[in-house]
Structure 1
């Protein structure tokens, strides 16, 4: 799998393109803002977008959903518990910044252990609530996209509505840290890391 990172917006949110190298099919993960930047990169690359997937529903991760989905005529997926955030500025927290960031509605919802097939690559949904009720990680082979659940040497904030430190740490310890230590982790903000590194150096574990 090939991974392209496109940091976007004032919060430098990481939008990822996870590309199956056999088929050149891809999913767009968390297109947060700057839709033209994302769209132009895709158009200049020989890939076919299959889906847009949100790891959670906060505004910095969903702002370019509609533009990307419409441009490439693809469907949008998010965990069922975060789906209401897409169309509600209070729930996705943009209202608290004095702006309204909205997305189209989800075309399908996700839950624990759902599979997303992209070419020869299969992504498994891991539900990691705590930063938001419907936060997820996506795992395919030795690659994981962790959204705002797990960062390099940190974890996501849990002081937002619906957040829970107990739920986040618990779900990461029971579902994520048990993965192979060589698994590369691509978080919603900041640099990539590995499961092994986080087990050793992340102060939350």
Structure 2
């Protein structure tokens, strides 16, 4: 399997497309610019199987309906943020988009607990990693040594916790107990910015150095 990072929207939110040799794919966090994402998928002849959301802030959900309707695929989100998709006051767009509301249709599938999720030929371990938001999750692909971490952990930084329902202590606990417990060679695919690894962040991230 391989993945492609596609920054989308004003905040350059990282959308990821994970695909296998059969051209099936999973889409993570289609935050904006649905036409651009569809053009890439069509060009590569990829066949989406599902949309997985690491969390439901507005910059991670903006193109959800465009992709869902075009490819007729289900959308997964954690139960703690299921109602954020339809509520601009919860997903942050009212606060940060000068009154512009970004909402999408309700999710098709609800993540309720940490478990192994299988979709077609793809298998993920769901890790609950709240703190940046109450329903933040990370998707770990063991056979690729890769975790789709959303806005939990960045290169040299961590997710912001000054947004409504953010909690820095909870976020640091999520990173320590869930992400840093992964093998040190694990590649971390963050919601913004460059790709990193667990090993690099343990050594160089000032927020978690020494854990």
1:11 aligns with 2:11: yes
Give the Cα separation in 1 of the matches to 2:100 and 2:14. Answer: 21
Shift of 1:119: 4.2
Give the Cα separation in 2 of the matches to 1:198 and 1:111. Answer: 29
Q: What is the number of residues matched between the two proteins?
A: 204
Q: Secondary structure at the match of 1:10?
A: coil
- Contact in 2 for aligned 1:26/1:118 (Cα 8 Å): no
- Contact in 2 for aligned 1:83/1:109 (Cα 8 Å): yes
Instruction: Map 1:1-205; keep pairs closer than 5 Å.
Output: 1-21=1-21, 23-96=22-95, 97=97, 98-141=99-142, 142-205=145-208
Q: Secondary structure at the match of 1:91?
A: helix
Q: Secondary structure at the match of 1:68?
A: helix
Q: Secondary structure at the match of 2:90?
A: coil
- Contact in 1 for aligned 2:146/2:188 (Cα 8 Å): yes
Give the Cα separation in 1 of the matches to 2:152 and 2:104. Answer: 21
Deviations 1:34-80 (A, max 9, x none): 00000111111132211011100100000000000000000000011
- Contact in 2 for aligned 1:25/1:118 (Cα 8 Å): no
Q: Secondary structure at the match of 1:130?
A: coil
Higher helix share: 2
Deviations 1:119-162 (A, max 9, x none): 44311111100000000111002011110011111110001111
The two structures have a TM-score, normalised by structure 2, of: 0.93
- Contact in 2 for aligned 1:148/1:189 (Cα 8 Å): yes
Give the Cα separation in 2 of the matches to 1:147 and 1:27. Answer: 15
- Consecutive unaligned residues of structure 1, counting only runs of 5 or more, are none
Distance change (3 Å), C-alpha of 1:195 and 1:130: same
Q: Secondary structure at the match of 1:81?
A: helix
CA RMSD of aligned residues (A): 1.1
Shift of 1:25: 1.6
- Consecutive unaligned residues of structure 2, counting only runs of 5 or more, are none
Deviating more after overlay: 43-52 vs 144-153:
43-52
The two structures have a TM-score, normalised by structure 1, of: 0.96
- Contact in 1 for aligned 2:49/2:120 (Cα 8 Å): no
